[in-house]
A and B are shown apart, each in its own frame.
Chain A
Amino acid sequence: MREPVVEVQGLTKTFKKLKAVDDVSFEIYPGEILGLLGPNGAGKTTIIHMLLGLTTPDSGFIKIFGMDLQKEREKIMQEVNFSSTYVSMPNSLSVRECLQVFARLYKVNNREKEISRVLQEFEIEDIGNKLIRSLSSGQETRLNLAKAFINRPKVLFLDEPTASLDPDIADKTRTLLLRIKKEQGLSILYTSHNMKEMEELSDRILFLHKGSIITAGKPEEVIQELKGRDLEEAFIRAARERRV
């Protein structure tokens, strides 16, 4: 039987009186893309932040590669990475300098080679010497993604990573994610408000509402469960029916 790379049990987080995440449990298996879906405030980003050790859960446990995140964070994060549209890079650095810094942080061997690899994969070789402040939002998003691949992670947490990309680059990014997943057995936890993307990428989806999982399964199972023709309709229906 396959061992999960990420194992979450009874995860709960309350901010003041608001229960942001309520007794959430799930696993991610090697080579699996798990989509976190739900309306704003459903708890998706809080779950990712807890999985990254940025926010401490009130209760529950998180194991990654079989290790307790609370105790072995440094070791775990060496093989994990993260990208979010809402996080930026220091804008006085050049693209290459920025990747150099992160390559050093993750102690990447053959730094120059790996930097060239990620620049090429995200089609930003031509802007390697440009300053980050002069990049378009799409280029900066691709730099964020390139940074997320610099240490060849085994687990990747992506928070709306394609939100500011044009349809062409977003499509190329999805294709790239699927290729790396297939070639390297990469596991991804993914949030997005792009339903088509979610349907196309995810092996399984967890639908969250007010911090709880209301349904989980393959995209077609979630669509059926929420009584939609496609994921977008299912999402709208679920969000509106449960809105107080």
Chain B
Amino acid sequence: MKYHRIFALFTRNIYLYKRSFPRMLEIFYWPLLDLLVWGFLTVYLTRGQENFPGFVAFFIGALILWDILWRAQTGISVSFLEDIWSKNLLNLFTSPLKPEEYIVALMMVGTVKLVVIAAIMTFLAWLVYSFNIFVIGISLVPFVLNLLVLGWAIGIFTIALILRFGQEAEVLAWALGFLFLPISAVFYPVSVLPPFVQAIARCVPSSYVFEGMRTVIASGKFPLHDLMWAVGLNTLYILFAFFFFRRIFNLIKRKGLLVRIGE
């Protein structure tokens, strides 16, 4: 991998954000809307329920962390779609650029975008609901990193599917991440799920992250066991995503589909 090519694409995306009002709006609009709607609902539901004081923390914390996962995924998949829409993909792949460099550049852009979104949501949660996500403490950092890596893995997998099945599969750029919502135990513990769904949830890194977050909020203990599972599974997920993407990229070159999707 060559740093200058990754940086070239990174720069291009920063130029695009700087110039595009809809792109800037996407960074601010949806996170703000999510936080206001679900945050106020949480406040309403907890009124008069003094026996469950941690509810706001559970819910808004989960909401912010879920947004990190989803934004990390769409950060990759939607940026890729934008290259298809602007018919620029062939110009990029006729240069010495390698597909892996392209992906890494998107990961970098997604990370910057995510940091901005997370900062906005954290500030708003503190301002509107007096919720400080940093009460989770230093444990927050490995949780966030795990969600980021899972988001990348899903994003890379999504790109591979769009490459293979063409623009008909575009909807996956937004939808695939949501497939993980019910089995990630974002807003409820894994134990409330039916046994067979619990078995599936145990294979998803994000379920360990959200379980871990609840453990920290409820007991203040660092959930090392959950973290180790999340890291192990995430390593498998990201390796598989890169492997799958490379296989599909080679396949579509054999089938002549890269050209069709790029023009």
Which A residues contact B (CB, under 8 angstroms)? 13, 15, 20, 45-46, 49, 52-56, 73-75, 77-78, 80-82, 84, 86-94, 97, 100-102, 104-107, 131, 144, 147, 157
Contacts and interface: CB of A to CB of B under 8 A. Distances in A.
Interface in B1-27: 2, 4-5, 7-9, 11-12, 15-16, 19-20, 23
A101 B5 contact: no
B256 interface: yes
A77 B90 contact: no
B90 A104 contact: no
Interface stretch (B34-42, B130-138, B247-255): B247-255
A93 B259 contact: no
Contact of A56 (B20, B91, B97, B253): B253
Q: Is the interface of B mostly helix, strand, loop or mixed?
A: helix
Interface in B72-115: 82-83, 86-88, 90-98
A87 B19 contact: no
B19 A92 contact: yes
A54 B258 contact: yes
How many chain B residues sit at the interface, stated as a range, is 35 or more
B86 A84 contact: no
B12 A101 contact: yes
Given A87-B87, A87-B90, A105-B9, 12 more contacts: A20-B256, A45-B259, A54-B262, A74-B98, A82-B94, A86-B87, A92-B19, A97-B12, A104-B4, A104-B11, A105-B5, A147-B91
A89 B86 contact: yes
A27 to B, nearest CB: 21
Interface string B172-215: 00000000000000000000000000000000000000000000
Contacts of B86: 88-91
A82 B98 CA distance: 16
B95 A93 contact: no
A88 B86 CA distance: 6
B263 A93 contact: no
Contact of A100 (B11, B16, B263): B11
Interface of B: 2, 4-5, 7-9, 11-12, 15-16, 19-20, 23, 82-83, 86-88, 90-98, 250, 253-256, 258-259, 262-263
B11 A101 contact: yes
A88 B15 contact: no
B90 to A, nearest CB: 5
A105 B95 contact: yes
A15 to B, nearest CB: 6
Nearest to A73: B96
Contact of B15 (A81, A87, A101): A101
B9 A101 contact: yes
A15 B15 contact: no
Contacts of B92: 105
Contacts of B2: 107
A140 to B, nearest CB: 11
A88 B93 contact: no
Nearest to B94: A82
A104 B91 contact: no
Given A74-B98, A106-B96, A54 B19 contact: no
